[in-house]
Structure 1
Amino acid sequence: MSNGPVGVALVGAGVISGQYLRNLNAFPDVRVLGVADLDADRAAAVAREHDVPVSGPLGSVLALPEVEIVVNLTVPSAHAAVALECLRAGKHVYGEKPLALDMDEAAKVVAEAANLGLRVGGAPDTFLGAGLQSTGRALRSGLIGTPVAVTAATQSLGPESWHPNPEFFYQPGGGPLFDLGPYYLTALVSLLGPVIQVAAGTRRAREHRVVGSGPKAGEIFPVDVPTHVNALLDFPGTATAAATFSFDSPVNRRMIEIIGTEGALSLPDPNTFDGPLLARGAHDKDWRELPLSGTTASRGIGVLDMARSIRAATPHRASGELAYHVLELMTAIEESGGSSEFRGIASTTATPEPLPDDWDPYALTIAT
């Protein structure tokens, strides 16, 4: 088994790469060694900005023997192909969501990793932040009794007003369900366990959208996915959930509420790592804010947990199994949209272990 900090490379030098690189460079248990992109100049610029020693095409970072984990930040349509290339080069893979565009592609990635004795991890890792970890502690303590029902919603007019290249949000693998759904579904599965069946209704409000900012402002592009999704999810032996995912709403909402037999919780935005976390008893007249404990270190803590788990030979929490289950939920929700009939979910996943109370991303825990 190797010793010392785990070598990491990124593939995909787009908008989100900066956030990952800032965070990963601050974690002493990992070393960022390379940045890859189809655009070599962009990879080089990002590498220079973040003091990463190697940049170039994917092959240039896969050739680095010190790289053990590749963080796959490519567009959704490339997730599976890039993951397979990395696995076949002997690297563990941690990918941005979704794991793949469809279940066949995802199954190939998971099977290839198992055959090669390698790990797959997947975003989002927001459920490892202080807000949702504290939610889990509140549920396990029995604060609201037994969970009975969940209401969740993420609603906006879509990302084209602020993102300079929004087209991929409206292609397969995007839309509010595949773009924002993973945060909400991963949060719920991490708290309540796997889902056994789903049903949904879906709509697409407009056939085309307009880029609202940047050099392409005013360009018209097609919409190829549902932009408003209402879903029902059945968690066996516990709550049912009603969830809305929309890019068609002038009302901005980001919320999850869990109702229990003894009260309710209002959860933090699952696209964040912090609070607030609110609670109320069955007879309370108002919400009260609960104290939080845990990390608010932001994107990349799933990669760090994976790195530490590799060295400790323990399961990592933002696992390929969890990402695969969430992908099946989204796929089944989309498939159910035309009929509103329930679809059974074949996959399952273990509930991720809570992070230890003293888990500190900025501490050096891996022996050199």
Structure 2
Amino acid sequence: MGQPLTPLRVGIIGCGNIVAQYLETFARIDTVHLVAVADLVPERAAEVAARVPGVRPMSIDELLADPDIRLVVNLTIPAAHAEVSLRILAAGKEVYSEKPLAAELPAARDVLEAASRAGLWVGCAPDTVLGVGLQTARKAIDDGAIGRPIAATATMVTPGHERWHPNPDFYYLPGGGPLLDMGPYYVSALVQLLGPVVEVSGAASRLRTERVIGSGPREGERVPVETDTHISGVLTHESGALSTLVMSFDAVATHSANIEVHGETGSLTVPDPNNFDGETRLHALGASEWIALPPAAGYVGAGRGVGVHDRAIARDPGDARASGAVGFHVLEVMLSLLQSAGEGRSVPVSSTVERPAPVPLTAL
């Protein structure tokens, strides 16, 4: 047997709502050791550090200067992702960013180029695609369960985050909206299942010019809507398969599966790509009903931060699956879709990426 891996020593910048899920994952794996946390609001970092024995609250500058930290998890707001990731790389540390990689494509490109010059790895959420739900569906496709894939549908419908989020402003500013907020889960899943995208065509609208906060200390306050809140599009994959995407903060509900994939000899329903597990169901050509497929691939019991675990166990950084290259391609697909909606024409996607290696059925 080989020598056990030394835990990857990490820090976190950004102590908002999502940090709790990363803390929970890091607490139950031995491949990642959380050293310190930082936030623009020091009290937030102190509160988060108090939850985890041995974790130190720091200023952002202190965390970036700490030689004990090898990788920094960037959990800042989307508009700050690129700026913070560039600072992390400049400090000589690897970075794993929450989605999206950046709010704009040139900024995302700057991050990847800075990482390449420094010889450092960049990773990007979502890592939900590494869980049992999505990976079982991918294995079924790769094993030929539906024959040659022809098409997919991806549907996310909610009446809006202001109904539950106490500070929903950024969801309705440029860089927000349903596509850039929830689209990374769905587009990343489609890339995992069907490969890279070469062209997109889209349309978009917005139902209201303002939203009313429904909970918390700001309940009743009105928030301006400065971005489109319903986006529809068609993604043409390099393989020739076509994916139809609907992302909405305007519609109320849907009976549609989160994702369906159709092939010549069968169809699959794929579980919610915002989660790590869930049931994949197959309807084979000539069958009378859908059947549930047993878990056959993916990290069992995964949670947010499993992408950092995947990096920690990778002997070669290029083997880590939740990569910045995937994050960049997904971002370009989404921004191209918004460009297409604004210009009323199909838009080519210039970047490409190889599908990451599948994840064998593996308990964390």
SS in 2 for 1:168: helix
Letter in 2 for 1:329: V
Q: How do 1:177-256 residues align onto structure 2 when only pairs under 5 Å count?
A: 177-252=179-254, 255-256=258-259
Determine the structure 2 residue equivalent to 1:285: 288
Cα distance, 1:41 vs. partner?
0.6
Deviations 1:258-313 (A, max 9, x none): 1100010000011111111100012223211110133232111101111222x555
Cα distance between partner residues in 1 of 2:153 and 2:7: 41
Determine the structure 1 residue equivalent to 2:263: 260
Q: Within the alignment, does 1:307 sit opposite 2:320 as a pair?
A: no
Q: How do 1:66-215 residues align onto structure 2 when only pairs under 5 Å count?
A: 66-215=68-217
Letter in 1 for 2:340: S
CA-atom RMSD in angstroms: 1.4
State which of 339, 343, 349 in structure 2 corresponds to 1:339. Answer: 343
Determine the structure 2 residue equivalent to 1:8: 10
Cα distance, 1:236 vs. partner?
2.1
Deviations 1:174-204 (A, max 9, x none): 1100010000000010111100000100001
Letter in 2 for 1:335: Q
Would the aligned equivalents of 2:194 and 2:239 in 1 still touch at CA under 8 Å?
Answer: no
Cα distance between partner residues in 1 of 2:313 and 2:68: 16
Poorly superposed stretches of 4+, deviation over 6 Å: none
Determine the structure 1 residue equivalent to 2:275: 272
Cα distance between partner residues in 1 of 2:116 and 2:290: 46
Deviations 1:59-98 (A, max 9, x none): 1211221211111000011000000000000110000111
Would the aligned equivalents of 2:39 and 2:59 in 1 still touch at CA under 8 Å?
Answer: yes
Would the aligned equivalents of 1:275 and 1:292 in 2 still touch at CA under 8 Å?
Answer: no
Letter in 1 for 2:304: R
Would the aligned equivalents of 2:311 and 2:317 in 1 still touch at CA under 8 Å?
Answer: no
SS in 1 for 2:313: helix
TM-score normalised according to structure 2 size: 0.95
Q: Within the alignment, does 1:350 sit opposite 2:341 as a pair?
A: no
Query: CA 1:254–1:33 in structure 2 vs 1: closer, same or farther (change >3 Å)?
Result: farther
Would the aligned equivalents of 1:155 and 1:254 in 2 still touch at CA under 8 Å?
Answer: no
SS in 2 for 1:196: strand
Cα distance, 1:50 vs. partner?
2.4
TM-score normalised according to structure 1 size: 0.94
Query: CA 1:245–1:126 in structure 2 vs 1: closer, same or farther (change >3 Å)?
Result: same
Unaligned runs of 5+ in 2: none
Deviations 1:153-186 (A, max 9, x none): 0001011111111111112221100010000000
Query: CA 1:313–1:19 in structure 2 vs 1: closer, same or farther (change >3 Å)?
Result: closer
Cα distance between partner residues in 2 of 1:254 and 1:156: 14
Q: What's the % identity of the aligned pairs?
A: 43
Unaligned runs of 5+ in 1: 362-368
State which of 325, 334, 340 in structure 2 corresponds to 1:321. Answer: 325
SS in 1 for 2:166: coil
Cα distance, 1:340 vs. partner?
3.3
Cα distance between partner residues in 2 of 1:86 and 1:176: 28
Cα distance between partner residues in 1 of 2:14 and 2:293: 38
Cα distance between partner residues in 2 of 1:296 and 1:172: 35
Cα distance between partner residues in 2 of 1:340 and 1:313: 40
Aligned length: 358
Cα distance between partner residues in 2 of 1:233 and 1:246: 17
Letter in 2 for 1:332: S
Cα distance, 1:117 vs. partner?
0.2
Cα distance between partner residues in 2 of 1:33 and 1:73: 15
SS in 1 for 2:232: strand
SS in 2 for 1:346: coil
Cα distance between partner residues in 2 of 1:360 and 1:117: 31
Letter in 2 for 1:234: T
Query: CA 1:3–1:147 in structure 2 vs 1: closer, same or farther (change >3 Å)?
Result: closer
Segment of structure 1 superposing worse, 198-207 or 249-258: 249-258
Query: CA 1:247–1:313 in structure 2 vs 1: closer, same or farther (change >3 Å)?
Result: closer
State which of 3, 23, 26 in structure 2 corresponds to 1:24. Answer: 26
Would the aligned equivalents of 2:121 and 2:317 in 1 still touch at CA under 8 Å?
Answer: no
SS in 2 for 1:338: helix
Determine the structure 2 residue equivalent to 1:365: none
Letter in 2 for 1:15: N
Cα distance between partner residues in 1 of 2:344 and 2:142: 33
Letter in 2 for 1:307: A
Cα distance, 1:54 vs. partner?
1.4
Would the aligned equivalents of 1:192 and 1:238 in 2 still touch at CA under 8 Å?
Answer: no
Segment of structure 1 superposing worse, 43-52 or 65-74: 43-52
